[in-house]
Amino acid sequence: MSYSLSWLHQNTGANTTAILVPFFNEAGDSEHFKQRLAYFDELANSLPDQVDIILIDDGSNDAPANHIQQSYRRLSVAQVSPNGQKIGALQRTIDELNHDYIIFTDFDTELENLACLEQTYEKLAADDNCMGCYFKMMPIANRKPVVQFQVLEYALERAAYHFNAHEGSVPIMPGAGCLYKRPIIKALLAQHSGLRSGEDRETCLLGIEQGYTVFYESDVVAMTAPPQSFWALYQQRVRWSRGFIEVAINKSDFYKQQMRSKTILGRRHLLDIISVSTFLIAPLLLLLMFNVSDTVGWWFLAIWSAIGIAETYSVYRVAKQEFKQIPQHRWQLLLMPFARLMLEVPTWWSVTSTMVWQRFRRGRVS
């Protein structure tokens, strides 16, 4: 599909890096929208000789142009139409740019320590085979239990990054905080399927499939706004889980090759498949065991819990430094397997049943 691009406000200079911030229908809350525009404008103004920040209106229908002020000192705002499901909008915007590096982030994410990127540029320039890096992802914390769960979960995910470090891979370059060399990301987006739910996972795998490597840039931090309720968290995970399945199907040959080669990426994908299968059969297994006898059921639950706790702590031990800022994290980790079970079981049942039903209906129509 062909997309058109126009500039609502343009202030791009001769900097090496462009930060792209796609958004869709964010102007409904005008006060919040203006606050975010002001934040990104100030961020660009604090690093005038390093980055250009470009917000991308991806075909919004809530008239964001009405809130774009000409007083922005450094901020650029592009408008892409029609809606490009993020990938189309990013690809169209990158076609207009000539920066050396592209950073992706989200509208509600705040980037910290961007001044540390100088050493990142040196590392990228020295390795033609490296396509980019991913930042330290951290949720903006408060005392809500659902947010505290995400704080701990993000730390576990960051710890898991260290398993992939020696082979220069990662299952996903998070769209809220990562950096690519512009020529490489331009080529990767041209090959992208356009599927929205797992777009950042697919982009990363396209590069790794072509032999590129990535690394973890822990000095640059992406502070992201996490869901504030269980329902919002559940809806987020439904989108993420759907994206995982879509990419797993779309890139099945690549994943099979990785598993046959016993790479870390392949092993992690196999563990993901086992985890998803476990969440799907968990209710049935528990029902079956308790149907045999209460004793068998409780023993099964105890063994299952012990395995979950052991798996959690095995990840924790790899990179304990990722947990330094979390009080009482050792005790909280004991609860992670149970919290994940409560979240992941309904998520995966919802996603898989919906996708199976949709495929069945398409089959009947054809």
CA distances from 247 to 11, 57, 177, 329 (A): 36, 25, 20, 32
Establish if 246 belongs to a structural domain: no
Q: Is residue 113 located within the same domain as residue 196? A: yes
- CATH code: domain of residue 112: 3.90.550.10
pLDDT per residue as tens digits for the range 140-179: 989 899 999 999 999 999 999 999 999 999 999 999 999 9
Q: Is residue 109 located within the same domain as residue 187? A: yes
pLDDT per residue as tens digits for the range 32-85: 999 999 999 999 999 888 899 999 999 999 888 888 776 777 889 999 999 999
Interacting residues of 45 by C-beta distance below 8 A, sequence separation 6+ = 73, 74
- Sheet with 213-224, edge to edge strand ranges: 4-9, 76-81, 51-58, 17-23, 101-105, 177-181, 130-139, 213-224, 109-112
Establish if 304 belongs to a structural domain: yes
pLDDT per residue as tens digits for the range 85-97: 999 999 999 999 9
pLDDT per residue as tens digits for the range 194-223: 888 889 999 999 999 999 999 999 999 999
Establish if 303 belongs to a structural domain: yes
Per DSSP, the chain holds a count of helices (H) and strands (E) of 12, 9
Is the bond leading into 82 cis (omega within 30 degrees of zero)? Answer: yes
Establish if 96 belongs to a structural domain: yes
pLDDT above 80: residue 238: yes
Provide the β-strand partners of residue 135: 217
Number of folded domains that form the chain:
2
pTM of the model: 0.93
Q: Is residue 284 located within the same domain as residue 205? A: no
Q: Is residue 273 located within the same domain as residue 156? A: no
Kindly tell me the burial class for residue 231, based on how many C-beta atoms sit within 10 Å of its own C-beta (0-12, 13-18, 19 or more). Answer: exposed
pLDDT above 80: residue 366: no
Q: Is residue 52 located within the same domain as residue 146? A: yes
Provide the β-strand partners of residue 150: none
If DSSP codes are grouped into helix, strand and coil, which group holds residue 138? strand
pLDDT above 70: residue 365: no
Q: Is residue 216 located within the same domain as residue 333? A: no
**Residue 101 domain boundaries:** 4-227
Q: Is residue 50 located within the same domain as residue 103? A: yes
